[in-house]
Amino acid sequence: MRELSAVPGPAPLTRRRPGDQVERGLLEVQALIEDAVVRHRNFVSRGAVVTSVKPDEAVLSAEAARLIGRTRRGLEVVLASDVPRAKGIYRALGEMLAACGDAVTVRLLCVPETLDREFVRTQLDAGRQLEVRTAQLPWMETVLVDNQVVLACADLVTGNRQAAVVRDVSVIRTLHNLFAGVWRRAIPVEQQLDFGGWARAEFARRILDRLNAGVTDEVAARELSVSVRTYRRYVAEIMEMLGANSRFQAGARAAELGLLPLGPASRPARRTA
């Protein structure tokens, strides 16, 4: 499969299109996290079923790595956060899988931006029990360990970020069921297009966003800081990869694969922790 040509500099994170069943399911998870934290806000003892976690980059990364390292049977991860955070999760997953081998089953649900194909290939070649799927998801990160404890972090409707470690059986059961529902509708990684790395994939999505918005080639090229000729070459390469004969077909195929970004009016912008 062809890769896109080198792109000019790193691309900023984009936002994604809501409205389908996958998105609604994850919005339920957001509401569940908020409700769990609010209801158990005053639980501070060691036996607390819900413990609030400071939504700080270092704190969240350390807590996620700690929980992933405790996995003994099964791990379900929703990785719909930012690329820098995703790299930390992949690092912790790699260390855990190296220690546990095929004794642990991992299901990883991510967005196209956070899909690390090299990691997936390496783990599968090593015989790890790893399944990976992608979907359009709101900003979210959950780590469910052995169906006993979950670290959940999400951007809430208010625009605030909330994180908590949850041991409440009913909350964990609900999260697991929601994960299963989203998983069934997500796209297996083998059906995803390989644009050749995070930066190239992100640049391709920015092009698809402009095709979907119907802007002229001149405007799109200017916004992406490339020449019109270069922009049109990228468009042709993307259409070939999508198997599309027209830009309209390319947009339809991109939407089917969950590659189209979300419009600015749909929800608050993604942000870093």
Cα angle 271, 154, 130; round to 5: 105
CATH of the domain at 246: 1.10.10.10
User: Is there a single domain that holds both residue 42 and residue 176?
Assistant: yes
CB-CB neighbours of 86 under 10 Å: 21
Do 112 and 88 contact (CB within 8 A), yes or no? no
Within a domain: residue 59? yes
Q: Which of 74-78, 131-135, 183-187 has the lowest mean pLDDT?
A: 183-187
Given phi > 0 = left and psi -120 to 50 = alpha, else beta, which region is 101?
A: left
Do 53 and 63 contact (CB within 8 A), yes or no? yes
For tokens 């992100």, name the residue.
202
Res. 4 pLDDT band, cuts 50 70 90? very low
Q: Which of 100-109, 159-168, 249-258 has the lowest mean pLDDT?
A: 249-258
User: Is there a single domain that holds both residue 180 and residue 114?
Assistant: yes
CATH of the domain at 170: 3.30.870.10
- Residue 153 pairs with which residues in a beta bridge? 141, 163
Structure tokens at 3: 């890769």
| Predicted pLDDT at 253 | 75
Within a domain: residue 154? yes
pLDDT, tens digit (0-9, with 9 covering 90-100), for 213-238: 888 999 999 999 999 999 999 899 88
User: Is there a single domain that holds both residue 51 and residue 103?
Assistant: yes
Within a domain: residue 172? yes
Within a domain: residue 176? yes
Q: How many residues does the chain have?
A: 273
Within a domain: residue 9? no
Separation in Å, CA 79 to CA 86, 178, 226: 7, 15, 31
- Residue 142 pairs with which residues in a beta bridge? 78, 152
The structural domain count of the chain equals: 2
DSSP classification of residue 209: H
Within a domain: residue 55? yes
User: Is there a single domain that holds both residue 133 and residue 238?
Assistant: no
User: Is there a single domain that holds both residue 153 and residue 113?
Assistant: yes
User: Is there a single domain that holds both residue 176 and residue 228?
Assistant: no
| Predicted pLDDT at 38 | 59
Within a domain: residue 267? no
User: Is there a single domain that holds both residue 148 and residue 245?
Assistant: no
Q: Among the ranges 15-19, 54-58, 67-71, 158-162, which has the highest mean pLDDT value?
A: 67-71
Residue 203 pLDDT > 90: no
User: What CA–CA distance (Å, rounded) separates 261 from 57?
Assistant: 24
Tell me the whole-structure pTM to 2 decimals.
Answer: 0.64
Within a domain: residue 111? yes
| Predicted pLDDT at 178 | 85
| Predicted pLDDT at 266 | 35
User: Is there a single domain that holds both residue 97 and residue 208?
Assistant: no
The residue range of the domain holding 229 is 198-256
Structure tokens at 69: 């390292």
User: What CA–CA distance (Å, rounded) separates 149 from 167?
Assistant: 5
Residue 46 pLDDT > 50: no
